[in-house]
Structure 1
Amino acid sequence: MSASEHPNRQELARELLLYKMQEYSQDGFCASWLHGLEWELWEAAEPPNAPAENPFIFNTSRECRQLAEIAQGWWVFEDQTQPDTESPVFVSLERWQQTRSAGNRPPIDPLEQL
């Protein structure tokens, strides 16, 4: 087997990031992809969020963001570049930052808060 057949560090981080995000959604909410998951996990490690408030999401968020740095991207469920996709899409960190800067966070579904 040649070296080119093995995934590199960036590809491994990308796949592990997807796994961690889906695992958080499945374990915490019994959903394969929680509505707004990409936003929740990204924001949970930002100030003023504190580890004492919810250490599980804070730690998961930090781990996911570290993996995102290695992978150079973030998984999102819908992206304008691939609007017909019904599964998570990997976007560059630059694209993710543009989405965040544009304030394109999906509205919270009131039924999900029950």
Structure 2
Amino acid sequence: MDLLVGSIHAYNIQLLRLILESGDYSANAHDVSMYLGLAKEIGARDDYIEKVGIKRVETVLVLKFGSAGIYAPDDLKLLVLQLIGELSEDCYCAQWMNHIEYELWALLEGETNELTRALWERRGDLTAVQELKQLSELTQSWAMWDDDAVDPHPVSLEKWRSLYQSYLSENGDA
């Protein structure tokens, strides 16, 4: 089993990033499909939230190789949502911390307070937060949990930006 497949199976995001960032790494279309398919299969299991890191693995692979016909546009929007949930779980031990979507967006916009930024530097994965931004731009979507919804759901970036500005107007900061 090659090292990249091993890092996917182990949800080892640090190793995966190192492999993909090395100048020596290249993959043919068959390998790309295999890597993306494997990550998607593991990430689709009901217990994915217990596999902290798998959504980051999927995101890094999609950003490196594209969706390669493995991920439909709606799958990628769902990946944005699931990555937000995984980052919430990683930093707060909560599958969807109240207002996590606003906090992460504020981090990306440089609009967060020093305490929140320090928390993410210490407990979170700021590289994954930047990858979330790239995935969000790729899909032109974000995710949110509103009071009328049972679960978080994808929203367009255009709608999200408007909702975020309204949130800031009402709350002062994220």
TM-score in terms of structure 2 length: 0.47
Distance in 2 between residues matched to 1:84 and 1:48, nearest whole Å: 27
- 1:23 correspondence with 2:23: no
| Structure with more relative contact order (C-alpha pairs < 8 Å, separation 6 or more) | 1
- Equivalenced residues, count: 97
Q: Please say if residues 45 and 58 of structure 1, whose CA atoms lie closer than 8 Å, have aligned partners that are also in contact.
A: no
Greater Cα radius of gyration, structure 1 or 2: 2
1:7-58 CA-partner distances (Å, limit 9, x unpaired): 43x33421221221111111221211001100111111223669x9417443
1:94 corresponds to 2:162 = no
> What secondary structure sits across from 1:33 in the alignment?
coil
**Structure (1/2) with the larger helix percentage:** 2
Which residue is 1:63 aligned to?
A: 131
Structure 1 residue 106: deviation in Å? 7.6
Structure 1 residues not aligned, in runs of 5+: 108-114
Q: 1:105 to 1:27 in 2, by over 3 A?
A: farther
Q: Where does 1:1-114 land on structure 2 (aligned, <5 Å)? A: 7-8=71-72, 10-47=73-110, 53=118, 54=121, 56-78=124-146, 83-103=147-167
- Over aligned residue pairs, what C-alpha RMSD do you find? 2.9
Identity among equivalent positions (%) equals 27
Q: Counterparts of 2:142 and 2:86 in 1: how far apart (Å)?
A: 15
> What letter is aligned with 2:148?
D
The change in CA–CA distance for 1:27 and 1:90 in structure 2 (over 3 A counts) is same
Between the aligned partners of 1:27 and 1:97, the Cα distance in structure 2 is: 25
> How does the TM-score come out when normalised to structure 1?
0.67
Instruction: Describe the shift of the 1:86–1:104 C-alpha distance in structure 2 as closer, same or farther (beyond 3 A).
Output: farther
